[in-house]
Structures are given as C-alpha cells and as structure tokens.
Amino acid sequence: MSKNNSHSRQSDEIDLLDLLRKMFKAIGRGLKTVGRCLLFMIVFLIKKWIPLGLSVIAGVGISFLIMSITEYYYISDLTLRTNAVSNSDMIDYVNKIHTFCKEDNLSEIAQSFSVDDELAKKIKDLQAYWIIDVGNDGTPDYIDLDNNHDAQDTINVRMPRRFVVRVKTIAPQELTKIRDGLFFYINDNDLFRQQNDIRLEQEKEMLDRVNYEIEQLDSLQKVKYFEETRRLSPQKEGQLIFLQELKTQLLHENIYSLFRRKQSYERDLNIYSDVVTLLSDYTSHSKPENGVLYYSNIVIPVLLGLTLLIVVIYDNRKKLKEVLENY
C-alpha cells in the first residue's frame, strides 16, 4: 500500500514538472515570436525610411497649409456658482446657446447676449459642463467635457453649485464682452430672477430671526449666570456653602451655532446675491487651439498609415496578384 502511495506521489511530481516545462517552453516560444516581429518591424522601417520620412514631411506641409487657410480659434473657461436654481437647470439653460452655435443661428445668439451680429459671428461655440469632485471632498478635480459621468456615482460626484462655461471664439480680445453677454442672458430669465428674489427675501427673514435668537440666548445666559451667583452666595453670617464650578459657557455652543448660521446668511446676501456668481473669469490665451500641432496630430498619422499600406501592397504585389488570379 505504501509503495502504491509513493509511486502515485512520484507520478504527480513528474506530471507537475512536465507541465512547468511545457509552460516555460510556450512562454519562450511566445517571446521569440514577439522578438522576431519587433525585429522584422524595425528592419522594415529602416529599409522604408525614405517613403515614411517623405510622408511625415508631407504631413507637416499639409498641416501648415490647412492652418493657413483656416481661422484661428481660442478656447477659454469660466467658472460660475449658481445661487437661485439647481445646476442642472442652469446648465440646460446655458446650453441653448450651444444649440444656436451648432445651427449657426447668429440672430438668436446676438439677441440672447444683447450683442451685435459681428460679435455673434466670432462666437464659434459656448457650452456648460459639470465639474466632478473626486472623492466627494468638496474640491473640484476635473471638468466632465465628455458628459459621460455616472450620475449614480456617490464617490466621484457632480458638484451641486459649480459649473464651467467653455467658449470657443476667433476673437480672444472680446472675451469680456462675451462674459457680459452670458450674464445678461442668465439674468434675463424671469423665472430665475423671481426665484432669486424669493431666496433673498427668505434669507433676510431668517437673518432677522437668528439675530433675535442670539439676543434672547445672550440675555438668558446672563440671567442664569447671575441667578447662580446669587444662589451660591451666603445668605446668613456663618452659613457654609458648598461651591462648585459655575457653567459660564452653558449656552455658548448654541450661540456659536447661531452665529455660524448668521454668517452663512450674510455671505449669501452680500456675496451670492445674484442669480449666479463669477468664481473665475475667462483668460485670453496667446496661442490658438488649432495651430500646426493640432492638425499634425491628425494629418501625419493618416498619411503614415496610408504610406505603410501602399508600401506593403507594393512589396507583396506578386503574391497578391497570384491570389487574385486564383479567385
């Protein structure tokens, strides 16, 4: 019985070693194949460096040509805080301008921004985007330019009050007028203005109430302090009093909480009193977005791929001819 068990263990060990040898051989063959492919590609590129180099030079030349016949455009971002309505409502409203830009509806753009048609022509696109907060720590991390963020994600969340408005224009010197036009467009919405007026009125009422409660608590604290002091004072000569520490901060936490609410209301009334508040303005860039590098990243890979395809077909033209003749 023991001889059978020993023979079985030896057989298992042999099978395992054989399996490992086969695995290493397969990995070695795979690495050799990859190495041969890389070597073949390097040799092929070295042999065909003239047509490939000419394709790169042609790509750069075509990129310069395209750049010379097209208008430069510049991209800049502006960050806003919405105060009266939700971010989703405000972003949907601003993105109506994006629709007008796609339709090339200059009259609607000019009317919405209260600008002339000349300035409207210089606005190539304007779109609002969500800002994503990675880790939900209250810090803006990136702009959802692809608009593909999962709204159900509870870790990386859309910021509830901030959003970005990106503009594409051929006249960066007009960014200030574009910003003013955007503010005109937002503030021209009657519903937004009414909601903001109601918000401000309610916060004024809450501020008055908080100020009243602070006065009441402060008076109550003074009364309780003097009552405790009087109660612990000896009323008769020779009377013994067991003293304990007075709770002079009995209501301080409540008062501090009210003060924090007061500061919040004052901040909303003084700083965030408009429908939206500007957090960061448009900045003018010295370099256009569609420079030679922009077009080179598109043209050169296309020409390089076409050149490789033509070279491979030319080198294997006889084999391809035989294959086609067989069919």
In a domain, 121, yes or no: yes
The parent domain of residue 314 ranges over: 2-69+292-326
Average pLDDT of 84-88? 93
Domain count, the chain: 3
Pick from 259, 250, 255, 243: which is nearest to 225 by CA?
A: 250
Residue 150 phi/psi, 5° resolution? -75, 115
In a domain, 285, yes or no: no
In a domain, 119, yes or no: yes
Task: Return the pLDDT at 153.
Answer: 87
In a domain, 279, yes or no: no
Task: Return the pLDDT at 191.
Answer: 95
Q: Check if the beta carbon of residue 182 is closer than 8 Å to that of residue 113.
A: yes
Task: Return the pLDDT at 243.
Answer: 47
Average pLDDT of 79-105? 95
The more confidently predicted of residues 227 and 125 is: 125
The CA-CA-CA angle for residues 128, 131, 136, to 5°, reads: 160
- Span 149-205, pLDDT tens digits: 888 888 999 999 999 999 999 999 999 999 999 999 999 999 999 999 999 999 999
Residues 151 and 255 in one domain: no
For residue 51, what are its two tokens? 């047509």
Average pLDDT of 88-112? 95
Please report the beta strands in the chain, taking only residues with DSSP state E, as ranges in sequence order: 74-82, 123-133, 142-143, 157-169, 276-280
Residues 246 and 305 in one domain: no
Residues 81 and 162 in one domain: yes
In a domain, 286, yes or no: no
Q: Check if the beta carbon of residue 217 is closer than 8 Å to that of residue 251.
A: yes
Average pLDDT of 5-13? 54
For residue 104, what are its two tokens? 């090339």
The CA-CA-CA angle for residues 268, 250, 240, to 5°, reads: 165
- Span 237-269, pLDDT tens digits: 554 444 444 455 555 677 788 888 999 999 999
Residue 226 pLDDT exceeds 90: no
Under the banding of pLDDT at 50, 70 and 90, the label for residue 116 is: very high
Cα 271 from Cα 288, distance rounded (Å): 35
